[in-house]
Structure 1
Amino acid sequence: VAHPLSVYIDTQGTGRVDEDKLSDVLQQLVNLSPRGIRTHLGLNRPIYARTSSYGHFGRTPEADGGFSWERTDLVDDLRGAF
């Protein structure tokens, strides 16, 4: 099955919106199939060598797409949905 059967979001009590609604909106905004995730984040390129030193969390996305999973490009769309 290409698309997820379910999506579970847990904001650990820090969320300001209903997690079920957030899950629904996220599924509408982003193609959560494996191909959709790879395409959205540009993960088919050789960008992983940089993660071998100093990790990858909290680093600013680079111009060439490195650390693309740290982008906040969906913030405005998510805010607009609520």
Structure 2
Amino acid sequence: MIKYIEVQLKDLMNMNEKNQNQEDLLNSLQTMEEEINILKEQNENNCRTLASQHKQLQKFVEDAKINSITMNQFMSKFEVKREKQNDQE
């Protein structure tokens, strides 16, 4: 009878140790899941920021093109006026 109880006790201790290991693993997995969720949120925020910056850069490029065209037109008119002045002199 004592031997039977010893075996039962040993089995219970082994099960308790396995349960503790499983709890530790579960806690570790929950921590990792929280970290993954934080990283996902940061990634989504970074994607939104990049998309916004991309739009701003596209606008700056368009503005630069317009400014370049305007400057070229101005320079062309200036050259024409200067040529007319040179012709009149």
User: Structure 2-normalised TM-score?
Assistant: 0.19
User: Structure 1-normalised TM-score?
Assistant: 0.21
Which structure has more relative contact order (CA 8 Å, sep 6+)? It is 1
